[in-house]
Amino acid sequence: MKTAILAGGKGVRFGAETQALPKALIPVAGKPVVRRVMDIYAAQGFNEFVIALGHRGLDIKRHFVEAMQLDGNIKLDLRNRTIVSPPGPLDNWQIELVDTGQDTATGGRVGRLADHVDGDRFMLTWCDGLSDIDVEALLAFHRSHGKVATLTAVNRKARFGYLTLDGVSVARFDEKPLREEDWINGAFFVLERRIFDYIDGDHCDWETAVLQRLVADGELMAYRHRGFWQAMDTPADRDALEQAMRAGLLEGNNMGDGK
């Protein structure tokens, strides 16, 4: 089964960093974030990827070509002018890099992948969100309900303190609480091929159009993941991811229950 990854955004909240690199190549603990995402799937046996490119797509293509040639140890035979690159960590991966347009909306980028994902089902996520998700458990949940789409719901701590108000008085203040009922879209989708019927061109937005249509048709289900999840929207988020990696929070499996 193929995993599609959207990597066409501009990452404007990274400021000067994205003047030098596309967001997908911003490193997290020394490795581009998109490769950290791919590692999640590859470590669980899913190593066929389709990457939707847009802004600075050539840089991303160049990265993977160079990674294929230069990762790991390299032996140069200067007498015979040959280069020997022994097998590296990407050698069992299949990666298709697809230009999906500079200004294409997120839903439109998915739509442009229709000819590049075969079979009746594929996975989809963004290039900048990391998790310790159990992919097989996610797939099992998706197969169990027979709907068009599954998203992974994550219970994320709020960025700011949460206020409980009594009129204009603050009745209670909780510093960045984690509330059981607060679920957000954490990507890590599983999709049936029928998803392409919900996408009507390049300007179709994934969240405001495609997901809303799925909801209206009763075709969107949520897999609850209670383990680690963190998106990389800002430099502070990247710092948090690196801290989580140092703390070992991306190791092992904290599985969701799907319910």
- List the domains of the chain with CATH numbers: 3-246 (3.90.550.10)
Q: Is 206 helix (H, G, I), strand (E, B) or coil?
A: helix
**Per-residue confidence in pLDDT tens, the chain, 259 aa:** 999 999 998 888 788 787 789 999 999 999 999 999 999 999 999 999 999 999 999 999 999 998 887 777 888 888 888 877 766 666 689 999 999 999 999 999 999 999 999 999 999 999 999 999 999 999 999 999 999 999 999 987 655 555 566 664 445 666 655 566 678 899 999 999 999 999 999 999 999 999 999 999 999 999 999 999 999 999 999 999 999 999 998 864 344 455 5
What CA–CA distance (Å, rounded) separates 22 from 127? 11
**DSSP calls for 215-252:** HHTT-EEEEEE-S-EEE--SHHHHHHHHHHHHTTTTSS
pTM greater than the 0.75 cutoff: yes
C-alpha 98, offset from chain centre: 16
What CA–CA distance (Å, rounded) separates 110 from 122? 11
For 30-73, the three-class secondary structure string (H helix, E strand, C coil) is: CEEHHHHHHHHHHCCCCCEEEEEECCCHHHHHHHHHHHHHHCCC
Q: Is 22 helix (H, G, I), strand (E, B) or coil?
A: coil
